[in-house]
Amino acid sequence: MNAAAGPSKNRMGPVMSCGSAMRFIGTRLPYLSASIPSKICSRPVPPVRKAVLVRPGATALTRTCGAFSRARPLVDKDTAEVFTFASQAEYDHFKFQRYMKRYLRTIASVDESVGRVLGYLDTEGLANNTLVIYTSDQGFFLGEHGWFDKRFMYEEAFQMPFVVRLPNQIRPGSVCDTLLSNVDFAPTFLDLAGVPVPSYMQGRSIRPLLQGQTPKDWPAVAYHRYWMHQDEYHNAYAHYGIRDERYKLIYWYNQGLGLPGTLPGGQAPEWELFDCRDDPLELFNRYQDPAYQTQVARMTQLLEAKMLEIGDDMLHRP
């Protein structure tokens, strides 16, 4: 979800195949905390001064003789309130505080709405045979690595919440840490509804996992591809990769391939390998590390096998 547009507007971004460690809780979906973390919002937003609107077409952020000025001040699109700032630091702090508080208010509203749905199901006696899933299209950066939004294959965006309630089939309090992808969602919904799963669908039903049984042939890998190279709003570079229970391999091919919404690219391609167990924050690229070359070769084989399976183009090959 993207809460940047306001506290009551949720906008879903493009769904991409990405991995998630699942957590099944069968009694009820846990409510998220509506409070604002102290480490994020420990300081009040600096006071801002109203200013008059400037002429259309004025230049944006400028610096003159080391002093900060804004020829086009921020204007609240809902209230028309105008904000100016005395320094870059004041401007940055205001933007981050405003963004985080709006995002967390949105999360709180989702939390309240989930509670209303669950309460209705309980009151009407529908809970035992009603499937309820709390999930998201992606994870989300909230300042980690200096980023916001999603799209990148790093853990903050790559992992998704997945909490399920179906009391007549899922043991309350059970937990499963097996990797799944969001392409598994649709086959799962159809399977649980007793509807045949079309052969053309990617992914597999996770019904066995929900019931505490992991098939021996379960693919414990998650594939990801982001193709919209340097799009207008996010400037994220195009890449693809794969993750298993411990390692993550990413190839930044950095090309738009002439697709709508992309820029041509041309930046040098780059590989990354992360040991997500020993380096959970993904700070150290091990791709060139001699100690990890066995894993580089193994993960490359897994990547190519998955790309062949789904018919994706291997841009890392000559």
Q: Is residue 67 assigned to a domain?
A: no
pLDDT of 317: 92
What digits encode the pLDDT tens for the residues 22-35?
333 333 333 332 23
Where is pLDDT greater, at 185 or 37? 185
- Check pLDDT > 80 for residue 9: no
pLDDT of 142: 86
- Residues 241-258 have a mean pLDDT of 96
Count of structural domains, the chain: 1
The segment with the largest mean pLDDT, out of 29-33, 72-76, 103-107, is: 103-107
Q: In the predicted model, what is the mean pLDDT of the chain? A: 79
Q: Is residue 1 assigned to a domain?
A: no
Task: Show the CA angle centred on residue 114, arms to residues 112 and 116, nearest 5°.
Answer: 70
The segment with the largest mean pLDDT, out of 22-26, 49-53, 130-134, is: 130-134
Q: How many CB atoms lie within 10 A of CB 293?
A: 13
User: Percent helix, strand and coil across the chain, each rounded to 5?
Assistant: 25, 20, 55
- Check pLDDT > 80 for residue 1: no
- Quote the CA–CA distance of 162 and 270 in Å, as a whole number: 31
pLDDT of 296: 98
pLDDT of 42: 34
Which residues touch 306 (CB under 8 Å, ≥6 apart)?
221, 223, 242, 312
Lowest mean pLDDT among 48-52, 204-208, 212-216, 265-269: 48-52
Which residues touch 17 (CB under 8 Å, ≥6 apart)?
181, 182, 183, 202, 222, 223, 224, 225
**pLDDT > 70 in the chain, percent:** 77
Q: Is residue 246 assigned to a domain?
A: yes
C-alpha distances (whole Å) from 172 to each of 8, 26, 93, 113, 144 are: 32, 4, 43, 22, 33
CATH code of 267's domain:
3.30.1120.10
Tell me the residue range of the domain where 304 lies. Answer: 221-313
- Quote the CA–CA distance of 146 and 39 in Å, as a whole number: 15
Lowest mean pLDDT among 69-83, 155-169, 291-305: 69-83
pLDDT tier, 169 (very low <50, low <70, confident <90, very high otherwise): confident
- Residues 246-270 have a mean pLDDT of 94
Q: Is residue 85 assigned to a domain?
A: no
Q: Is residue 6 assigned to a domain?
A: no
pLDDT tier, 298 (very low <50, low <70, confident <90, very high otherwise): very high
Q: Which of 197, 195, 240 is nearest to 222 (CA)?
A: 240
